[in-house]
Structure formats: structure tokens, C-alpha cells
Amino acid sequence: MSEFEKLRDEIIACKKCSLYETRTLPVIGQGSHKAKIVFCGEAPGASEDKTGRPFCGAAGKILDELLESASIKREQVYICNILKCRPPSNRNPKTEEIEICTPYLEKQIEIIKPKVICTLGNYSTGFIMERYGLADKIQGISKIHGQVFETEQDFVIIPLYHPAVATYNRNMIEELKKDFQLLKKYV
Ligand code: URA
């Protein structure tokens, strides 16, 4: 059994926090296990919870549009979330849920060994930057989106707006597309 298969089985069986009681399917992640770019969102929403696939609802449509604008295919990247199970009614993740769940994300990153981690939105950016030694650089996403942060690991971190912002405000799409152009050189 591969390391990824072991991890998948562990996540499916996970009862470490109460979210397993209310979720339908865990959303482990999707894409290439050799991806150079990992996208990390916040937590599954209703569509993801039903299908087990990350970013397959309204925000996912925007993500697809952004990837296409940079000529990147979903199959070339890996897409996952901070939390693997949907919080009821899409409430914000709790600190203890993040603490309990993120060793799975860390393991995914360890196996994939990406060159870039793109954090989608404030939660993901806050967690990943803190975890990988950039706590002192954390600011709101509107300040730091599109910046490239070196880490002591073999990857850089690029904070990005969460694609859902363009579902609330379509005018944001051009700004999001501009940030995605940065990613072309990493694929
Ligand atoms: N929003 C996220 O942060 N992740 C998903 O998988 C879907 C929507």
C-alpha cells in the first residue's frame, strides 16, 4: 500500500474530532501526487461533502476558470483543504479542529514535495504561514495576495484570494487572474 493510500484510509476512518458525525464524505484531496503546485483551501462545502471532491461547487468553477486562464490543468496540480470534513452549515473551522486535522495536510505536503503552496483565503494562509515559519509575515489576504514567500523548506508559499470572493463580487476576477499568471512558471 502506498503512503497516500495509507493516509487516505486513515482520513476515511478518522474520528478525532466531531466533524465526522455530521459530514457525508471526507474530502481528502485531488490531483497529481507529483504536483509542483498544491492549492490549499479552507474546508469542504456542501457540494464537496456530497461528492468527496475538493472545489467542485461554485468556488470550484471559479478555480477552474483561474487555472484555465494560466493554462494550468487540474490534473497537473493537487487541490486540498485545511479541514478534510465539512463544518456544519459551513461555519468557520474551530482552532481545535485545525489542530487535529492538519497533520493530514502536513503529510500530504511531505509526500507530494511541491515547489509552491498556494493558500486560498485567510484561514489557509494563516495556518500554512505560521506552520512553515512565516508567522511574522501574516497579514490580511487583501494585503499579501500574490506575494511569493520563501520558506526554510523546499517550497515557496503564495497566498491567494479564496476563489469564492469572485462568486460574491465578479469584479474581483481580473485581480485573481493576475495572481494566477505568477504560477505559470512553476508548472
Ligand atoms: N471552499 C473551500 O475552501 N474548499 C473547498 O473544497 C470548497 C470550497
CATH number assigned to the domain comprising residue 180: 3.40.470.10
Question: pLDDT (tens digit, 9 = 90+) per residue, 116-127?
Answer: 999 999 999 999
Q: Tell me the C-alpha to C-alpha distance, in Å, between residue 85 and each of 14, 106, 125, 181, 187.
A: 10, 16, 19, 30, 29
Which residue among 27, 48, 64 has the greatest number of ligand 1 atoms within 8 angstroms of its CB, and so is best to mutate?
Answer: 48
pLDDT at 29: 98
| Ligand 1 midpoint to CA 42 (Å) | 6
Percentages helix, strand, coil for the chain, rounded to the nearest 5? 50, 10, 35
Question: What is the model's pTM?
Answer: 0.98
Ligand 1 touching residue 44 (CB < 6 A): yes
Rounded Cα gap, residues 124 and 142, in angstroms: 14
Ligand 1 pocket, residue 55 CB under 6 Å: yes
Closest CA to 33 of 73, 95, 78: 78
What domain range is 18 assigned to?
A: 3-186
Q: Are 128 and 157 in contact (CB under 8 A)?
A: yes
Residue type, 63: L
- Interhelix angle 122-131/95-112, nearest 10 degrees: 70
Q: Is the CB of 59 under 6 A from ligand 1?
A: yes
Please tell me the total count of domains within the chain.
1
Residues of the chain with pLDDT under 70: none
How many Å apart are CA 78 and CA 123, to the nearest integer?
A: 18
pLDDT of 122: 95
Count the Cβ atoms, other than its own, within 10 Å of residue 6. Answer: 12
Which pLDDT belongs to residue 144? 98
Ligand 1: distance of its center to the CA of 152 in Å? 27
Q: Kindly give, in sequence order, each residue whose CB lies less than 8 Å from that of residue 5, ignoring residues fewer than 6 positions away.
A: none
pLDDT of amino acid 49: 98
1 Cα–ligand 1 center, Å: 28
